[in-house]
Amino acid sequence: MSRALKIFRWRAVGPLLLFLAILGLLWILFADRIARAETESTLSEMLGTEVDIASLRIREADAAVDLGGLAIADPRDPRRNLLEAGTITVDLDPIPLTEKKIVIDQLTLSGLRFLTTRATPARPADPNSPAGRLLRETEAWAREKFQFPRLALGRIDTVKSLVLQPEQLGSVKAAKAFAGTVDSTRAAFEQSVAELQVKAVVDSSTALAERLAKSDPKKLGIAGVREAASDVQKAIERVKEARSRLASLEQTTRTSLGALQRGLADVEAARQKDYDFAKGLLELPSFDAPKIGAALFGAPSTDYFQQALYYAKIVQRYVPPGLQPWNRPGPKRTRLAGTTVEFPRMEEYPRFLLRQARLDFATSGAGQNQFEANLAGITSQPALLGQPATLLASGRLGGDRPVSVTLSGLSRHFGKSPTDSLVARVSGVTLPAIQIPGLGFTVTPGRSTVGLAFALSGERLAGAWEVSSDAAAWNADSARLRAASLVESTVWRVVSGLSQLRVRAELGGTVDAPTLRVSSNLDDAIAGRLQGLAGEALAGAEQKARAAVDGIVDPQITSLRGKVSGLSSQVADRLPVERGQLDRAQKALEAQLRRLVGSGLGGIQLPKL
């Protein structure tokens, strides 16, 4: 028997082929089921909500996958689905599959429906999953970054006692911190002046000048004059150095004084916030028009922006910019998942690419649908593709009362900073009732036009949310209305007759420091009526709040101003004196040097002064 025959166990080829055949059979029997479970699991984890797929069939010969009955639950409302799709056909490029990469040539979705009610509530997302954490973070973001004034429309109680504790006030905290800064600046200034040793330089220079003034150069001789002149030149150099250090100190001190003035302004700004805080304790209604807009519609608008930010953050998480290796959790298994690292390379396939998707609404139950939607360039590694992902959709949905939709989105995750943006406009949509916070009123906008624009570029935010309706209906709890205060009933009288509703919220700033401006067509009307009714009482209560804050903060700010002013005076008084002393010492030395040179002994050349 040959050596090759001894190395190989040829009779085991049969059982091995049988084993492979069994694997093949298992694939045929279970691949669809496993792929469906894996797809559900992956999408659920990625989107942070339950994703159900009724059926999945892999067509190996066509390199295609058919999915049926896709339902994506709303992560914020388990009783409804964000999206349902009847059938989905995924045509894959077979070549990248050999590299374990998914490149979809064409994705066709049909029978799409949105915001449908679920038969059973969706499972909540794992709170520790990345999407679960993102949802919590964005909810906390909306809660913490935006605080809207409440229309507290009870009795305006100017008699209510207002007891403030110093530790409640931001300006007190700021003043305490700032006092430390002032003290350390003063200490640093005094130490720097002491380190200059101006007095020592001036004293030694003056003594030298006086000693030379009493001497006769002719009696010193050539060597004596040279030595004396050398001493004078060295002394002048020391004076110049001291003056240079003094100039530098002056510059530093001016900068520090500028910073102290800004610090004082910050403390003042904190005091303004304390006024608002104190007014809040009095539960005063705010009747400024911009604040009324925020009080009425601030919360619903942040709700939209929070959702937009959540999905933008998900996109940022799963679509990293650039071509650096990308670490992500390994697959779920009995063994430790570990970390899986992606190593993208230019001119290679990304791990996931959807070249084009077409959304077809033809079988969604309403024959009058005329809607086209196209998605392109969706990838996990956009730097490889070199072009942004785009979404364009427009058309009319529904029969008797059609809804017009225009939608465009762009996701550019290469270049300087990742940018995700979405612009949507839906006309003729029936909006649900909006509860007005703090009041017993709701407004049902009816058939409206809703616009939403949102962009996240790096950390910068921009967005707008608009609602426009000419058929708004206001509803109130009749029992509450009967017991309503004058102010509350006044607001009701203003709004209940209005059928036109125009709301606009504008988002700006950064994720860490967002800004939101909310306005509506009701603001001026309500503000005018309420200020007329309660202006005088409000002014008195506001004055009371300011006085309570000033009573605590004024002594501290006055003390701070005194300290800063004292330091400014100290700087202004002391530095010119030091400079004058150095000037006089230098002049005296120069005079002696000229006298020595003028004596004609030693061939000394006068240095350039």
Residue 30 CB, shortest distance to another protein, in Å, is 13
CA distance 211 to 595: 13
Residue 126 CB, shortest distance to another protein, in Å, is 21
Which CB atom, from 9 or from 143, has the smaller least distance to another protein?
A: 9
- Report DSSP letters for 444-461, one per residue: E-EEEEEEEEEEEETTEE
Residue 96 CB, shortest distance to another protein, in Å, is 9
Q: Which two tokens stand for residue 566?
A: 């004292």
Residue 414 CB, shortest distance to another protein, in Å, is 18
Greatest alpha-carbon pair distance for the chain in Å reads: 124
- Between the alpha carbon of residue 338 and those of residues 37, 48, 125, 352, the distances in Å are 21, 21, 22, 21
Q: What is the DSSP letter of 54?
A: E
Which CB atom, from 322 or from 330, has the smaller least distance to another protein?
A: 330
Which CB atom, from 6 or from 214, has the smaller least distance to another protein?
A: 6
Find the angle CA(566)-CA(571)-CA(577) to the nearest 5 degrees: 125
Which CB atom, from 340 or from 510, has the smaller least distance to another protein?
A: 340
Residue 23 CB, shortest distance to another protein, in Å, is 9
Residue 336 CB, shortest distance to another protein, in Å, is 4
The residue whose two tokens read 């904190």 is 270
CA distance 473 to 475: 7
Which CB atom, from 341 or from 513, has the smaller least distance to another protein?
A: 341
Which CB atom, from 331 or from 598, has the smaller least distance to another protein?
A: 331
Dihedral sign (CA 322, 312, 67, 356)? negative
Closest CA relative to residue 342, chosen from 318, 310, 359: 318
Residue 350 CB, shortest distance to another protein, in Å, is 11
Give 53's Cβ-side CA count (13 Å radius). 23
Which CB atom, from 288 or from 348, has the smaller least distance to another protein?
A: 348
Q: How many CB atoms lie within 10 A of CB 2?
A: 7
CA distance 109 to 89: 7
CA distance 500 to 116: 28
CA distance 337 to 328: 10
- CB neighbours of 570 closer than 8 A, spacing ≥ 6? 186, 189
8 Å CB contact between 42 and 72: no
Q: Which two tokens stand for residue 374?
A: 């196209």
Which CB atom, from 94 or from 562, has the smaller least distance to another protein?
A: 94
CA distance 175 to 199: 36
Which CB atom, from 9 or from 493, has the smaller least distance to another protein?
A: 9
Q: How many CB atoms lie within 10 A of CB 468?
A: 17
Of how many residues is the chain composed? Answer: 609
Residue 317 CB, shortest distance to another protein, in Å, is 19
Residue 303 CB, shortest distance to another protein, in Å, is 39
Q: Residues interacting with another protein, by CB under 8 A?
A: 6-9, 11-13, 15-16, 19, 98-101, 325, 330-331, 333-345, 348-349
Residue 40 CB, shortest distance to another protein, in Å, is 19
Which CB atom, from 334 or from 478, has the smaller least distance to another protein?
A: 334
Residue 12 CB, shortest distance to another protein, in Å, is 5
CA distance 380 to 44: 17
Which CB atom, from 13 or from 25, has the smaller least distance to another protein?
A: 13
Which CB atom, from 263 or from 344, has the smaller least distance to another protein?
A: 344
Residue 11 CB, shortest distance to another protein, in Å, is 7
Strand partners of residue 453: 423, 464
Closest CA relative to residue 65, chosen from 27, 98, 107, 37: 107
Closest CA relative to residue 66, chosen from 31, 100, 39, 91: 91
